[in-house]
Amino acid sequence: MKVNMIFRGVALLLCIMCPAHCLLEQNTQTKNEMKDVLLESGATHSTAIEELRKQIGEIVKELNALKEVHALQLVCLKGIKVPGKCFLASPVKKNFYDATDDCILQGGSLGTPVTGNENYQLYVYVHEMIGPKEQIWLGINDMLKEGEWVDKSGSRIRFQNWETEVTRQPVGGRSQNCAFMSVIDSGKWFDENCRAVKAFVCEFNIV
């Protein structure tokens, strides 16, 4: 009698365990299938993102090309053309930072003559377009290291036209980290506090 009861108990336990085991095995298989689907979906998603990045890169290139066309067709007609670039004056006076931002928004940068000929042409242009006593910001500064004047790219400038005979520029020290061209001083450069307001000229690189 006791043996029969034990036998029945084992049989009942097997009946209970078998469905549970089958269910567990089926659940594991389902999870693995879902994992495979997610991995495949993730790979597809990464490919789509990479393709989108490529398309954005192409759009940026086209935008830069359009900026060059804009500079050539519009700016050069309004301003003055020198080899490799155009200058366009702005009589609205701003501080160095706002003038810099204004030029960038137009697709250019703050005027920075890199040769004596460029400096002279910029001086003549400002004299005629803005006035014989004007001062304009130049796209150079020594904010990072006192006495080390750099252009918009952070490269040290090679050409310089400081006024050195009378005031021996630059002389402002840490309080004057930006530079301007003085028309009344025949295009000579002076250092100045960057918060001062002056006229400015944007330059646009062209082919």
Q: What is the pLDDT of residue 21?
A: 45
| Residue 207 CA, distance from chain mean position | 21
Q: What is the pLDDT of residue 2?
A: 39
Q: What is the DSSP code string of 134-174?
A: -EEEEEEE-SSSTT--B-TTSPBPS---B--SSS-S---GG
Q: What is the pLDDT of residue 37?
A: 55
Q: What is the pLDDT of residue 16?
A: 43
Ramachandran sector of residue 194 (left: φ over 0; alpha: ψ -120 to 50; beta: rest): alpha
Judge contact between 71 and 86, C-beta under 8 A: yes
* Averages of pLDDT over each 10 residues, the chain, 207 residues: 43 43 51 59 73 83 70 75 92 95 94 97 96 96 95 95 95 92 97 98 88
Q: What is the pLDDT of residue 23?
A: 40
pTM of the full predicted structure? 0.66
